[in-house]
Amino acid sequence: MMDDGSYVCDACGEEIIIPIDGTAGTSQEYVEDCPVCCRPHLIRVTFDSDGEPFVRAEPEHQ
């Protein structure tokens, strides 16, 4: 099951649409670079009781 989620990049302000793979588990965490400004973000995806994804993103601290 693939869905789309989004977050707003804190560095450039762009809304970023990301694919979400529901088969990868109900709690996911990974690092992804913003496709606009290339700053890395820690992406956290969780699912509510109805299976709807919730995306949070924060700058990755290096």
Mean pLDDT per 10-residue section of the chain, whose length is 62 residues: 86 95 90 96 93 92 70
**Tell me, what DSSP letter sits at residue 2?**
E
* Whether the model pTM is above 0.95: no
**Residue 3, pLDDT score:** 84
**Residue 1, pLDDT score:** 57
**Residue 40, pLDDT score:** 96
Tally of domains within the chain: 1
CB 16 within 8 A of CB 8: yes
> Which range marks the domain in which residue 54 is found?
2-59
